[in-house]
Structure 1
């Protein structure tokens, strides 16, 4: 039994695997492994990090209609409806995780909410670990990933700053709309060293 889920870690893995394609589930397992490493290095409860990592993409493959219904039913920010799965699976996904998996730990739920956009002030170490583990898991091979891993190994704060700067630059180059919370996150972390 875990402190954060009614069941064993294997039970949780099975529930997550049942909702995801094998491709997505393998990503989740790599995020869990990387989160474990970052948690140990940064004084974060390893079991809590493992649970958050296992559930961070639990809702990733849900339908747009399910997300849009939940935004309305759960009285979430109506502006969410203007975005897409890349935002919804974190913010709305936390609601699904709470309801379907009975995960009550607010730090885990916030880590899921924040894993796609980060957050400004108040981002817990757990949220920081999940945010970076999702970005750096060993299946990632984007240009600069090795530098990002080295920077994060030296300083979690510097790693977050690196990720946010490079993500915003990537979105600007693609001329893609940027979720407002991501801009707020950028403005906060750009001044962190």
Structure 2
């Protein structure tokens, strides 16, 4: 699929393919992320088409089995350290591989946004930031602080990345979860560094 030629019919077909891979609840989340991502793309000057495609496919592999992820990690040359993690990390980093292979989406900007949508990164493109934030603030989210996160996202996308990163890390610490190294890199850049550079 070429993102520069994206008709309504192609969007409908992509939605059908995505819906077949997940529960109804997950699909409703995906549609919420798409709506939010397109709005953010229009506000901040990114491609609404790429935002739509990346949002629709960001959780494409979320409900695949651990065994399938482990097979792909071993088969396709991923770093074997990934085997020490789980679906929370795999469905982004490895999920982009499923999207490319099964949905024939080869746009690297879209694939990278899928890879980074849960962990973030120190260096993020505009589309990376849009999908990262849209996933966090889509209309179905109801956690404490989401209203503030939405307000920030409509004013300053970088500040929204920092807000999300900080609160995601706080949640991981509170639940005593193991923290993926890239999430800490994201925090160091977008929260610690970003805050130091504010006037």
TM-score, normalized by length of structure 2? 0.93
Per-residue deviation at 1:77?
1.4
Per-residue deviation at 1:151?
1.0
Count of residues paired in the alignment = 192
CA distance in 2, matches of 1:185, 1:79: 19
SS in 1 for 2:136: helix
Q: Does the C-alpha gap of structure 1 residues 5 and 59 become closer, same or farther in structure 2, counting only changes over 3 Å?
A: farther
**1:115-165 CA deviation, whole Å, 9 max, x = no partner?**
0100112x1100100000000000001001111111111100000000000
**1:28-54 CA deviation, whole Å, 9 max, x = no partner?**
001000001111111000011000000
SS in 2 for 1:8: helix
Residues 1:126 and 2:127 aligned together:
yes
Per-residue deviation at 1:5?
7.7
What is the 5 A alignment of 1:1-12? 3=3, 8-12=10-14
Per-residue deviation at 1:64?
0.1
**1:59-82 CA deviation, whole Å, 9 max, x = no partner?**
000000000010111111111111
The one of 92, 111, 120 equivalent to 1:90 is 92
Does the 8 Å CA contact 1:119/1:181 hold for their aligned counterparts? Answer: yes
What is the 5 A alignment of 1:1-193? 3=3, 8-121=10-123, 123-190=124-191, 191-192=193-194, 193=198
SS in 1 for 2:67: helix
Query: What's the C-alpha RMSD, in Å, of the aligned pairs?
Result: 1.4
Structure 1 unaligned blocks of 5 or more:
none
Does the 8 Å CA contact 1:119/1:184 hold for their aligned counterparts? Answer: yes
CA distance in 1, matches of 2:62, 2:120: 17
Report runs of 4+ in structure 1 exceeding 6 Å deviation: none
CA distance in 2, matches of 1:36, 1:186: 25
SS in 2 for 1:19: coil
Does the 8 Å CA contact 1:5/1:102 hold for their aligned counterparts? Answer: no
Per-residue deviation at 1:20?
0.9
